[in-house]
Amino acid sequence: MPSDRPTVLLVDDEPSVLAALQRGLRREGLELRTADRAASAVACLEREAIDLVITDHRMPGPSGIELLALVRARWPATGRILLSGHTGGIPAEALANAQPSAVLGKPWDDVELRTAIRDALGRE
């Protein structure tokens, strides 16, 4: 039976970061999926409807910003949030192509992350 809860895909190459995100979002009424790189994330997006992608910027292979640009092109209704420990080094053109609704630093603030998720999903 399909869930009426929003499905959020978490993408990071560090298992400890994925675990921390899952712990922090466990009680938010979300269906959570995880991927350890952009290719795995795309496979998940092709398999099921994803409402929001939250990705790290620096990963092996395509970066998080490149992943979000692809998500915007192929799944434009899917929300996009970027996490990065290096938010100042992201080229403006790349941000314009990906159009994330939020760019949050790592480590992130849980309240700020939850607010960004609610905003991206259009929830109160």
Domains of the chain, by residue range, sit at 7-121
Please give the average per-residue pLDDT across 78-105, as a whole number. Answer: 84
Q: What is the pTM of this model?
A: 0.92
Contact status, residue 101 vs residue 119, Cβ threshold 8 Å: yes
Omega cis (within 30) before 76: no
Instruction: State whether CATH 3.40.1410.10 applies to domain 7-121.
Output: no
Q: How far is CA 71 from CA 63, 89, 116, in A?
A: 12, 21, 18
Does residue 1 surpass a pLDDT of 60? no
- Asked whether residue 99 carries a pLDDT value surpassing 80, the answer given is yes
What is the per-residue pLDDT across 2-20, written as a single tens digit (0 to 9) for each?
Answer: 568 999 999 999 999 999 9
Q: What is the DSSP letter of 122?
A: T
